[in-house]
Amino acid sequence: MALQSSWDQDLERKRQLLVRYQTLRDSKGKVAQALQALKTTVGQMEGQFLAGDNPGVASADLQEILKNITGAHGVQMTSTKVLQARDAGSYQEVPVQVQLSGNVAQLLTVLYHLEHHKKLLFIPEMEINAPRWMATQRDQTQTLQVNLVVTGLIKKKGASA
């Protein structure tokens, strides 16, 4: 009797396992479609990466983007510094530190254009230095000094999505 009960339990576990395997087999098409959709999305996102396949070329592309945006909106870019690229999985983050000088409206415009640029750009660090404001001053165009780090992405050589 004990042997019969053991076999019945073993047979029930194997039936449950068979049902699970059949369910996985039946969902294979859905998984393949989801994988293809994911690959398409990753491909579209990689189109928003910086130009170049190494950090030097990508940082030059990022500096050109910054120069064009700041120049178009009257913000003075006082200095740029290329920082060390950092690994981010199968991608690399390419950071550039810039110092800007302009009024509040100009700097807001530059930040807006960086955020909405066709390339995928991030601002992980930002420091704003403003001159002291006195109650007797009504001038809203005081110059601010902004130090920020702008980061873009590139795909590592030999990395697959």
Say yes or no: 29 and 79 in one domain.
no
SS3 readout for 107-161: HHHHHHHHHCCCCCEEEEEEEEECCCCCCCCCCCCCCEEEEEEEEEEEECCCCCC
Residue that has been written with the tokens 């945006």 in this structure: 69
- For the chain, the domain total comes to 2
State which residues form the domain around 141: 55-155
- Say if 160 falls within a structural domain: no
Query: pLDDT (tens digit, 9 = 90+) per residue, 102-132?
Result: 998 999 999 999 999 999 999 999 999 987 7
96, two tokens: 């550039």
CATH of the domain at 144: 3.30.70.60
Say yes or no: 59 and 135 in one domain.
yes
The pLDDT of residue 3 is above 70: yes
- Contact partners, residue 24, CB within 8 Å, separation at least 6: none
Say yes or no: 41 and 77 in one domain.
no
Say yes or no: 68 and 103 in one domain.
yes
- Say if 146 falls within a structural domain: yes
Say yes or no: 14 and 40 in one domain.
yes
Hey, how many other C-beta atoms are within 10 angstroms of the C-beta on 146?
19
157 or 24, which is more confident: 24
Query: pLDDT (tens digit, 9 = 90+) per residue, 56-101?
Result: 999 999 999 999 999 999 999 999 999 999 998 888 999 999 999 9
The pLDDT of residue 133 is above 80: no
Say yes or no: 38 and 65 in one domain.
no
The pLDDT of residue 11 is above 90: yes
Say yes or no: 36 and 79 in one domain.
no
Say yes or no: 38 and 97 in one domain.
no
Say yes or no: 7 and 85 in one domain.
no
**pTM of this prediction?**
0.70
